[in-house]
């Protein structure tokens, strides 16, 4: 048994009853349930449709995300999330580089690394090297003035945690950012790389070992085990090539507004919805969402 979920950007109201009923009939679906009026709906199907990806492409043109997954076990007990361009809307290293006057060069390397064109560790070392001498006070300035949160993130965490879920932030970025982001959004734990500093300035080096693709897989295994869970119990979300390992190991791996190489290898793709899409995928209705107090869209 499979569940088909259709969703769009909150407020877009791209889902009409006519469109939904048309697909329901074409795929022989049943048990139609509106999760949010005009924004998210689901129904059951017995087998995977042969034209799934053609219909997916058609829906993308309408601003609608289409996900088909097994019904069994879709509600997860743990969230494992990437940070840059996933829980926040920026790449932290690119923002630091802009302050250091090397923004375009670093941003180009970041884009290639996230699309799998460069070795992650090598690319990270090269970019951090370009930040050598940057005053560490600028890190706090960047966090306060340049970082904004991805819509829906706080609600995602609060809703899953209200059901006993555990949330871990695992980033190829830096602890200088994961610490305040995790604290602000309510993550239970976080892991990231360390920017080495001496006398109030960055040395241009990264603390070892570097947290990259394999370290994210290890984090999934270790953190889930400490919670008495299996990888199958985990909902992972990310956007870059260094997230692929954890996305493929998790029970449900979600490519969120992801790079092409990630979308090619991950079947659960959210390109129009925000982070609350991860709740709809688990069968939550909008009325079940938990909105935490004192959480804004910016630090």
Which residues are catalytically annotated? 82, 84
DSSP string, 190-250: EEEE-EEEETTEEEEEEPSSP--HHHHHHHHHHHHHHTT--GGGEEEEE-SGGGHHHHHHS
CA dist., res. 47 & res. 30, Å (int): 12
Number of C-beta neighbours around residue 298 at 10 A: 12
Cα separations in angstroms, 207 against 39, 40, 41, 46, 193:
44, 43, 45, 50, 7
Sequence-distant (≥ 6) Cβ neighbours of residue 262 within 8 angstroms: 238, 239, 240, 241, 243, 244, 247, 255
Distances (CA, A) of 279 to 7, 98, 177, 190, 287: 11, 35, 25, 21, 11
């Amino acid at each position: 048994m499979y569940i088909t979920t259709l969703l769009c950007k909150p407020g877009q109201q791209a889902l009409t009853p006519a469109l939904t009923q048309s697909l329901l009939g074409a795929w022989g679906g049943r048990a139609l349930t509106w999760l949010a009026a005009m924004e998210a709906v689901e129904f059951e199907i017995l087998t995977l449709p042969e034209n799934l990806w053609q219909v997916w492409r058609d829906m993308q043109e309408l601003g609608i995300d289409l996900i088909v997954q097994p019904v069994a076990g879709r509600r997860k007990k743990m969230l494992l999330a990437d940070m840059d361009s996933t829980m926040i809307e920026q790449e932290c290293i690119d923002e630091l580089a802009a302050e250091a006057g090397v923004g375009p060069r670093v941003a180009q390397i970041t884009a290639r690394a996230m699309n799998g064109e460069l070795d992650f560790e090598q690319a990270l070392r090269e970019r951090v090297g370009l930040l050598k001498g940057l005053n560490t006070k600028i890190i706090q300035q960047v966090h306060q003035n340049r970082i904004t949160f991805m819509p829906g993130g706080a609600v995602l965490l609060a809703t899953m945690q209200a059901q006993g879920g555990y949330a871990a932030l695992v980033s190829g970025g830096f602890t200088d950012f994961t610490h305040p982001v995790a604290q602000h959004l309510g993550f239970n734990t976080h892991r990231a790389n360390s920017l080495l500093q001496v006398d109030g300035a960055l040395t241009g080096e990264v603390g070892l070992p570097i947290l990259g693709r394999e370290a994210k897989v290890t984090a999934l295994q270790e953190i889930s085990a400490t919670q008495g869970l299996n990888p199958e119990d985990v909902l992972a979300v990310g956007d870059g090539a260094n997230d692929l390992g954890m996305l493929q190991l998790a029970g449900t791996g979600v490519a969120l507004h992801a790079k092409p190489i990630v979308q090619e290898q991950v079947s659960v793709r959210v390109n129009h919805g925000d982070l609350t899409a991860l709740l709809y995928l688990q069968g939550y209705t909008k009325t079940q969402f938990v909105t935490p107090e004192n959480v804004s869209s910016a630090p």
